[in-house]
Amino acid sequence: MEIQRQEFKKLLSPIKVGKMELKNRFVFLPHYSGHGTNNGYMECGLISERNILHYVERAKGGAAAVTVSSNADPHSIMATKIPISSDPRNKAGFKKLADEVHKYGCKAIGQLNHGGHTTLMRPPYLLYAPSQMPETSSHYNTKELELDELEMFKDYFVKAAVLHRETGWDAIEIKVGHDGLLRTFLSPLFNKRTDQYGGSYENMVRYPVEVYQAIRKAVGDDFTVGVRLCLDEFIEGGYSLSHGLRLAKTFEEAGVDYISTDAGSFTSFYMEIPPSAVPLGFAVYMGAELKKVVDIPVIAFGRINDPVQAEMILQQDCADLIGMCRQLVCDPETPNKTMAGDLDSIRNCIACNEGCLGFGELELTCVQNPGAGREKYLGIGTLTKTSNPKKVMVVGGGIGGLKSAEISAKRGHTVSVYEKSDQVGGQLLLAEKMPYRAEIGEVYRYLRHELQKAGVKIVCNTEVNEALVEQVDPDIVLVATGSSPVIPEIKNAEKFKGRIINPRQALSNFELLGDNILIFDDIGYWQSMGVADYIVALGAKVTVVTKDSHFGVDMESTNRVMLMQRLYEGGIKIIADSAIKEYTEDGVIIANCFSGAETKLSGFDTVVVASHSSSDNELYKKLKGVGKREVYAIGDCVAPRAIQQIILEAESIARRI
């Protein structure tokens, strides 16, 4: 049963943070988007129209505040597309961003950071830290900061803060969080100094507090200044929650107006940007503990993707505001839909991390929301009704078919979906069986709800052929018939006494799995790693052979790290740089991809071959060949790919018809 608007008494209520009045408790958290401008040396670090539109979209969606991350100085940028907020060339862009979000009753908060020891660049220019040491998540060493450099960087923080205030922003947030320089002064792992900025607690906290004091003096007491604070580094040799709470109290006593909670580091980045293996609301307890020691407003964070969950956090006094990043990337209109009581239409983030971790030269996108990073063309208000409604037949109820049906129906076409199995959802019905992957079912849950709301007819247990298309007689056919997994031909396969199956069979029919399983990873993605996770969870003995340098070479890194931890705990054996040369009666002979050296592996009940898939496009080719009506191929029917590319393609085609 949906919770009505009046039940979100705290989430939708206003609050004062310092001198800043917020209309509700939704705060868009800071993040790296990769949407800044990089036109080469000395022309990087500039805010762009795309940057601005990204944050305006969340203001349109009803957020009370957007927090925009920037680098305070030009010497320590983590990536070339992060705006440098002390650069006067950004004045016009910063003013435009503030002016635009204000149109929607939203506040603009500028987060100031110094890249310090952390980098998205490979290799970086120069990294800085309190003491010289390689950051534990990379091989790059740091420069130990000299006293005059500390003063220089402090001045850049001040210049950046002043530029924000001069261009109409509402608050400044100093990053003492999961990445950047300031947290490292607080960490016993990174700060080995013996001068006035190291050693005792008072010395270690001195520089971050001095930065705050300098900013406060420059912007005045009538301007809101907060801190994004890492409460627990989650790294060996670092600090834990008790130390984080002491730091928060120190910042409160120094005069900051709020604390935005944070945790993790680049070394424990799976806690910093947690995948679905980390529970929803995993960090709420930190905010709850922080509320016991400080009296200033606290912003919660950590896999909060649902307004009911958010209201509970506020009602239980675990925080004063709700920080959302990936959820508002996935569905910018979460606040507006909450206000309207339309909770089932909220597209919940699944924490897959496949689009939003736009590191390096990549750019932030979203698996479910094609408008993320493409707000100008696919954002709120860009989907318009067609002036020429047509009858659209969608063949295939996988994600490509469902997404194309959703967009077609919202544009005003009459849409029907035909699926040969007994339910829609496609390969995600299998993917959600993998350990810690149940949330991926949200993708088809949302699409099914939107189709139901739009009155789209869904027909299951029906395989479409040319005759049925003629019977339905649509104006347009969108063919989303998917793909079939391929098991490559390998010598002597007929000699193997056990079963040789593909990943879809392994997930559909666990009775095909024995006690000793060999997985051949010929794809480097979820088809191999997720199936391995599934089989290990069932208690079987698993050996993996992969042609790549490591297992799951194309997996997103936060998911891969946590998955590998589970696999090794389950006793998995991994052999890299190798491929199956031939089968034997109870196993295989593998060969090293470089040396050719052969090894015999035996004792297997089942071999799971995770390789490529082949498009099921015969119906598309036949209908296209007839030429009687408009026909489009979508998804794996075009070429087997990941969800993100398929959803973008489906939306793009449906917007054109």
- 24-73 tens-digit pLDDT: 999 999 998 888 887 776 678 899 999 999 999 999 999 999 999 999 99
Asked if residue 584 has pLDDT above 80, the reply is yes
> Higher model confidence: residue 33 or residue 566?
566
Separation of alpha carbons 270 and 264, rounded Å: 8
Start-to-end CA distance of the chain, whole Å, equals: 36
Per-residue pLDDT tens for 76-120?
A: 878 888 999 999 999 999 999 999 999 999 999 999 999 888 888
Does residue 212 contact residue 186 with C-beta atoms inside 8 Å? no
Residues 6+ apart with CB under 8 A from 539: none
Grouping H, G, I as helix, E, B as strand and the rest as coil, residue 247 is: helix
pLDDT of 2 higher than 80: no
The token pair that represents 34 in the structure block:
């990769």
The two structure tokens encoding residue 225:
């200044």
Cα-flanking dihedrals φ and ψ of residue 259, to 5°?
-120, 125
Rounded distance, CA 60 to CA 371, Å?
13
At position 627, the amino acid (one-letter code) is G
Each residue's pLDDT tens digit, 413-442: 999 999 999 999 999 999 999 999 999 999
Q: Which long-range contacts (CB under 8 A, 24 or more apart) does 450-453 make?
A: 450/345, 450/406, 450/409, 450/410, 451/402, 451/405, 451/406, 451/409, 451/415, 451/417, 453/345
Which of the residue ranges 44-48, 296-300, 380-384, 502-506 would you say has the lowest mean pLDDT?
Answer: 44-48
Assess contact for 512 and 505: CB atoms under 8 A: yes
**pLDDT over 90 at 311, yes or no:** yes
According to DSSP, the residues that pair with 592 across neighbouring strands are 578
pLDDT band at 4 (very low <50, low <70, confident <90, very high): very low
CB 521 within 8 A of CB 546: yes
Nearest-angstrom CA–CA distance, 385 and 130: 57
Q: Please provide residue 110's backbone torsions phi and psi, each rounded to the nearest 5 degrees.
A: -100, 115
Write out 16-27 in H/E/C secondary structure: EECCEEECCCEE
* Helix %, strand %, coil % of the chain (to 5): 35, 20, 45
Q: Cα 261 to chain center, whole Å?
A: 19
Whether the CB-CB separation of 501 and 495 falls below 8 Å is answered with no
What does each C-alpha distance from 604 to 187, 192, 514, 516, 601 come to in angstroms? 49, 52, 8, 5, 8
Q: How confident is the model at residue 336 (pLDDT cuts 50, 70, 90)?
A: very high
User: Of 263, 271, 246, 346, whose CA–CA distance to 306 is shortest?
Assistant: 346
Question: Given strand 573-575, what is the order of strands in its sheet?
Answer: 499-501, 606-610, 516-521, 541-546, 573-575
How many residues are recorded in the chain? 657
User: CA-to-CA distance for 620 and 642, rounded, in angstroms?
Assistant: 20
Residue 425, phi-psi category: left (phi > 0), alpha (psi -120 to 50), beta (remainder): left
CB 116 within 8 A of CB 184: yes
For 606, the enclosing helix (H) or strand (E) is strand 606-610
Structure tokens at 13: 């209520």
Per-chain mean pLDDT for the chain: 95
What is each CA distance from 414 to 116, 391, 394, 411, 468, in whole angstroms?
A: 55, 5, 11, 9, 17
**In 3D, which of 327, 351, 381 has the Cα closest to residue 276?**
351
Contacts of 200 (CB under 8 A, 6+ apart): none
Task: For residues 289-318, give the mean pLDDT.
Answer: 97
Going by C-alpha positions, the residue among 372, 318, 286, 344 that lies closest to residue 50 is 372
Task: Return d(Cα 24, Cα 140) in angstroms, integer.
Answer: 43
Tokens coding 94? 């910063």
**Section 582-596 average pLDDT:** 98
Q: What is the pLDDT of residue 138?
A: 73
Task: Name the E strands within 82-201.
Answer: 107-113, 128-129, 143-144, 171-176
Instruction: Supply the pLDDT for residue 135.
Output: 62
417 burial type by CB count under 10 A (0-12 exposed, 13-18 middle, 19+ buried)? buried
Strand partners, 128: 143
